[in-house]
Amino acid sequence: MCRGQAMRELGLAKIRGPLPVGLRLDHWQLHLLLGVDLRGERAQGPPASAPPVTWQVPGQLPLFSARPDFTRFDRARHTNLDNPTLIHALAVLEEICQTRGWSRYLRKEIVRALKVLLSGQAPGDIVLFSGVVQVDKLGHNVSRTAEVLHELGLLHDDRADTLGDWLERRVRQLASGIADDVRAWTHELRHGSPRRQPRKEGTVRTYVMAAHPVLLTWSATRTTLREITSDDAHTALSGMTGSHRRRTAVALRSLFRFCKRTHRIFRDPTVRLSGGPSNPSLPVPLPDQLLAEAARRATTPAARLVLALTAIHAARPTTLRHLLLDDVDLANRKITINGHTRLLDELTAHLIAEHLTHRRDRWPHTLNPHLFLSEQSGHDQKPMTEWWFNKQLRGLGITINQIRMDRQLEEASHTDPTHSISAQSSASVKPQLSGTPTRPDTY
């Protein structure tokens, strides 16, 4: 049988003498017994039509936990359009696309990703986020696919808690009694309580980084926070100045107020703890070269409009984030900034019209009501982040807020109360945005 199978596979009518070099009978035996070809060669003849692959037979309990490798997904062999979970997911995707205004290109990416993830889905199975990440190697969208799976209740976020690991590494360095109190404090900061909202991740990190050196020093001679006195708290801040002292004082007050509120200590040693005198430095005008370079870097309609609203109308970054389309009235040349309606100058009106045209062409189906959009916010209804507004100024040493303060300083330097908005705008920014070769001190 082995020689007959060998002749059939090699395409020979007869094999005379010894078998050809490299031909192994044990492979043919395994092929006959198990129906597999260990050489990795395709059998001749038309391929058999195998049923669609399902990772688990419905109703069958899994023998062990195994994570599928979706990067080896074969669209021709593994796609199962009859899977009930996939059919339901595609229907939900259509509703989400209509509700959130997702483009047809994004929809196609998510459809391909769902076919990869759900073609072999059995009832009751869930999809791990680590599995969703694998579709990125296949060229599919990860974040929006995860949103659809979350809407379906099929997603389990198995990503590592990086902030929790970071906190635990620092808490372990403290004395056991102090570590218990700090661990409970950070838990409330992260997750909140019935009377307190959770803090942002950046705030939690700032608090812990500010208080950790002091707590580490106390851990060498103390075992619990009950042993800390008011003199200890003031001594810990005696060698600090400026913002470092203020951040440490705020973090320690937050820690001991939490311990007092939860009856972990008897007295709060930071009741009269001061962060030091507040001596804010007065703002100074920005050099014209920096403002001109900031204007030259504004190469997109959105970037030019952000700079104009900041340098001409002194809009804050937070206000720009939450600026809505309804706040702009181009027909009457008006804009509402932070609840105050003001007239638009010629340059700002032109930049707004340019930005709205670009916004309509780039995100024609978006339902986001905000004026400024990005690749991410164009597919949901969230506002932009302040990081986006300052990214074009990287390397200059200035921020959008400093440009706003420079605009206010320029306005304060004019004694004429009837000075128009155009005359008050920055002399170094406006010519660059308008594209006219005007002198820096004229408009």
The pLDDT value given to residue 390: 83
Write the single-letter amino acid at 390.
Answer: N
- What would the DSSP string read from start to end of 329-378? ETTTTEEEETTEEEEPPHHHHHHHHHHHHHHHHH-TT----BS---TTGG
pTM for the whole structure: 0.60
What is the average pLDDT value for the chain, to the nearest integer? Answer: 81
pLDDT tens sequence across 50-94: 444 455 555 556 666 677 888 888 888 888 888 889 999 999 999
Q: At what angle do helices 201-219 and 230-237 cross, to 10 degrees?
A: 110
In angstroms, the CA 101 to CA 89 distance is 17
Please indicate whether residue 28 or residue 334 has the higher confidence score (pLDDT). 334
State the Cα torsion 380-386-391-397 to the nearest 10°.
Answer: 180
Query: What gap in Å lies between CA 6 and CA 4, rounded to an integer?
Result: 5
Largest CA distance in the chain: 111
What average pLDDT does the segment 222-245 reach? Answer: 90
User: Which pLDDT score, from 0 to 100, does residue 226 have?
Assistant: 94
Q: Which residues contact 428 (CB under 8 A, 6 or more apart)?
A: 288, 289, 291, 292, 295, 440
* Residue 203 and residue 245 in contact, taking contact as beta carbons nearer than 8 Å: no
CATH class of 288-434: mainly alpha
Burial of 442 (0-12, 13-18, 19+ CB in 10 A): exposed
Is the pLDDT at 244 greater than 70? The verdict is yes
